[in-house]
Amino acid sequence: MREFEKIRCAIIRGGTSKGVFLLENDLPRDPETRDRVILAIFGSPDPRQINGLGGADSLTSKVAIIGRSSRPDADVDYTFGQVSITAPLVDYKGNCGNISSAVGPFAIDEGLVKAVEPVTTVRIFNTNTGKIIAAEVPVKDGRAVTEGDLAIDGVPGTGARITLNFLDSGGAVTGKLLPTGNLKDEITLSDGTRLTVSLVDAANPAVFFKATDLGLTGVELPDVVNNDPQLLARIEEIRSIAAEMMGLAHRLEATAKSPAVPKIVFVSPPCAYKTSDGRVIEAGQIDLVARTMSMQKMHKAFAVTGGICTSTAAKLEGTVVSEVLGPSARQGNVVRLGHPSGTLEFEIEISRDAGGNPRLEKAAVARTARRIMDGFVYVPRRIFWPEV
């Protein structure tokens, strides 16, 4: 009897993340067995993920499960999973915008969507959020184009432009653009600190606070935050309280049961700062400075879904994010975020319904993606059939 089962897979960079892409039909239907298989593919839990394909970093420990869609409004179904490095957990509560940028090219190259030159629009149903993402993918000779002139901060070189439009992405997880119904809320930390936060759900739910309210400058780089256990604990406490307020998990269980969402972001007004690679971002290049976390560590760049939520919050007058937004972004639809690796730009359109409630009409961003390898990953048979 064979000791291993072979599963087709591809490793693809999407934006500033990297993931293992799997076809839905190649995975077990039973959710528990499927997750055991995925954990084995990544080599989790293990801080080094030495026995699998994971890269020992939350930005490279991500899975995308793709299949043909039966929906009339979509070409493919896409499920995102954040694979924990330290626990036997695959978190499906939210989506990853960076990984989303590679779904269209993958679907085209796998023959799930007919290639139409020069640009193929792939309509992607994200099962995590129940929302449609329209991806405009450049195509040539029946395959997705990889080479191009678009540079994105946090990724070396350039690539082909993939434009993502997250359609009707307000209330993606909680069902409400403003989960509590408020533009601002007050919370109290266990040490008695009172903090003003804004809870917004656009593409993914997130909680926002001003950097200065927690004694931060706002331009901290990942090493500074990640090497401060006390600060990490306070930031995670804020996120956990928000998770309970959004109905995602009890605050005492949020780290274990919902470690990826809500996102947490601290913001500050536009100012000059140095990126992780020593470049200077001038105040005039951005509309606000933002820092976000990924699985309880500071993100080396910025999550796309978190960026959509941040930019949306910036355009909602009365949130803590809108209060630090630079003047040039207050009139137009473009919001430019300054993050540890550089800048990220979003196009946001918000309308009002008959009752005056905000509705997110458009949230668009440009990314690049590249297939790095494909082949087979070997999974021990005992993972599929533990009793055998």
Q: How far apart are CA 60 and CA 63, in angstroms?
A: 9
Q: Tell me how far CA of residue 154 lies from CA of 13, 196, 285, 338, in angstroms.
A: 12, 31, 16, 12
Of the pLDDT bands very low, low, confident and very high (cuts 50, 70, 90), residue 216 is very high
- The contacts of residue 162 (CB under 8 Å, 6+ apart) are 101, 104, 105, 135, 136, 137, 138, 366, 367, 368, 369
Report the pLDDT value the prediction gives residue 159, as an integer from 0 to 100.
98
Report the pLDDT value the prediction gives residue 352, as an integer from 0 to 100.
87
Of the pLDDT bands very low, low, confident and very high (cuts 50, 70, 90), residue 36 is very high
Of the pLDDT bands very low, low, confident and very high (cuts 50, 70, 90), residue 353 is confident
DSSP string, 23-46: EGGGS-SSHHHHHHHHHHHHT-S-
The SS3 assignment for 122 reads: strand
Per the DSSP assignment, residues forming a β-bridge with 162 are 367
Per the DSSP assignment, residues forming a β-bridge with 1 are none
Report the pLDDT value the prediction gives residue 39, as an integer from 0 to 100.
98
Q: Are 198 and 207 in contact (CB under 8 A)?
A: yes
Of the pLDDT bands very low, low, confident and very high (cuts 50, 70, 90), residue 1 is low
pLDDT for 388 beyond 60: no
Q: How far is CA 213 from the centre of its chain?
A: 25
| Rounded percentage of the chain residues whose pLDDT exceeds 90 | 96
Report the pLDDT value the prediction gives residue 207, as an integer from 0 to 100.
98
pLDDT for 171 beyond 90: yes
Burial class for 361, CB neighbours closer than 10 Å (0-12, 13-18, 19+):
middle
Report the pLDDT value the prediction gives residue 245, as an integer from 0 to 100.
97
Report the chain's C-alpha Rg in angstroms: 20
pLDDT for 387 beyond 80: no
pLDDT for 9 beyond 80: yes
Q: How far apart are CA 237 and CA 260, in angstroms?
A: 14
Report the pLDDT value the prediction gives residue 326, as an integer from 0 to 100.
96
pLDDT in tens, 128-143: 999 999 999 999 999 9
Q: What is the mean pLDDT of the chain?
A: 96
CA torsion through residues 223, 229, 235, 240, sign: positive
- Going by C-alpha positions, the residue among 100, 195, 178, 237 that lies closest to residue 357 is 178
Query: 123: which 2 tokens?
Result: 């309509």
Report the pLDDT value the prediction gives residue 38, as an integer from 0 to 100.
98
Q: Tell me how far CA of residue 14 lies from CA of 92, 126, 293, 354, 372, in angstroms.
A: 18, 16, 18, 38, 10
pLDDT in tens, 241-260: 999 999 999 999 999 999 99
- The contacts of residue 215 (CB under 8 Å, 6+ apart) are none
pLDDT in tens, 282-298: 999 999 999 999 999 99
The structural domains of the chain, ordered by start, are 4-161+369-384 (3.10.310.10), 185-362 (3.10.310.10)
